[in-house]
Amino acid sequence: MGYTVKILPLFRGVKGVRIIHRGPWSDPLLVYRGYMFNYWDIEEALWDHFLADQGENEADYKNLAAVDEQDKRFNQWLQANRETQNYLDDCILGKCYTGYFYK
């Protein structure tokens, strides 16, 4: 009845942000500076930041044939700046809402 906790190295290649998968029925968590965040809450917020920064909108990304390229661009954008760490720092300081996190 138990499950295996699997820790993956990094969230989309971003240094200092790790992923914990807790099984097929639980959302994964992101771990940063000892705090845990819901993966999907952070992913969605960062995706919105990415779209705004690129001057694009969600409709620009409906082409399933381009999903790999979109994912690659998103990863590069996250790795090229400190957007992920800055956003998570803001969440820790209470400047954003991500649903929940706990230490």
pLDDT of 58:
73
Residues 89, 93: Cα–Cα separation, whole Å? 6
Query: In sequence order, which ranges of 1-103 are alpha helices (DSSP H)?
Result: 39-54, 67-80, 83-92
| Token digits of residue 97 | 């809402």
Number of domains in the chain: 1
Q: Is residue 53 part of a domain?
A: yes
Q: Is residue 25 part of a domain?
A: yes
Rounded mean pLDDT for each run of 10 residues along the chain, 103 residues in total: 67 91 87 90 90 79 71 90 86 65 48
Q: Is residue 36 part of a domain?
A: yes
Q: Is residue 54 part of a domain?
A: yes
Q: Is residue 1 part of a domain?
A: no
0.95 surpassed by pTM: no
Q: Is residue 46 part of a domain?
A: yes
Q: Decide: 91 and 45 in contact? Cβ < 8 Å.
A: no
Q: Is residue 19 part of a domain?
A: yes
| Token digits of residue 86 | 């800055």
Structural domain of residue 77, as residue ranges?
6-102
Q: Within 10 A of 59 (CB to CB), how many other CB atoms are there?
A: 8
pLDDT of 65:
64
